[in-house]
Amino acid sequence: MTSSLATQIPGYVAGTWDIDASHSTVGFSVRHMMVSKVRGYFREFSGELVTAEDPAQSSVTATIDLGSIDTRQEQRDAHIRSADFFDVDTHPQMTFRSTAVRTDGADWFVDGELTLKGNSKPVTLALELNGFGADAYGGYRAGFSAKTEINRNEFGVDIKMPMDGGGVVVGDKVTVELEIEAVLRKA
């Protein structure tokens, strides 16, 4: 029996979904030189979402290939891949595993554990349910947007690059933004 919460979500379907990476984005922004923000993306990632009969019992797992970082500047990307930042030779992936899905009024949140450079910390994603519906290929799709902010130092990405006169080259707070389209697995 579908929960009353599920009936309030148009087109909601319980099932297992695979992230469609070609129609999804895993991005971030971080303050640079104290005056602007640099945006970047990860080109390679995968994940599975399980929407339960009761949406609050749903779950998500995801893996991001840190070597696939793209900030539109290859020299910077190579530096971020190095031991100064991600150390992709030792820690090639970042992972996320949800621990709870909850609502607060009309707002949705996904609590989980983010692991980066061997450091696991709790994070909460603010979640937007964009929709559920049939696609043009005989399948069924779901769309989600999510956002959180992390402190990179807590995950061991703790390089300090002070600027003359004060401030730092790279800020500590990183905003993570996800645009996810997922495809329902066929039985």
Residue ranges and CATH numbers for the domains of the chain are: 4-184 (2.40.128.110)
Is pLDDT of 50 > 90?
yes
Question: Helical H runs in 26-174?
Answer: 74-81
User: Rounded to whole angstroms, how far apart are CA atoms 154 and 146?
Assistant: 21
How high is the pLDDT of residue 106?
84
Place of tokens 């599975």: 48
Place of tokens 């009936």: 7
In this structure, what DSSP letter does residue 6 have? H
Mean pLDDT throughout 45-65? 96
pLDDT digit string (tens) for 12-30?
Answer: 999 999 999 999 999 998 8
User: Rounded to whole angstroms, how far apart are CA atoms 3 and 36?
Assistant: 45
How high is the pLDDT of residue 1?
44
User: Rounded to whole angstroms, how far apart are CA atoms 107 and 90?
Assistant: 38
pLDDT digit string (tens) for 127-161?
Answer: 999 999 999 989 999 999 999 999 988 988 776 76
Q: What is the mean pLDDT of the chain?
A: 89
For residues 123-157, b (16+ Cβ closer than 10 Å) or e, as one string?
bebebeeeebeeeeeeebbbbbebebebebeebeb
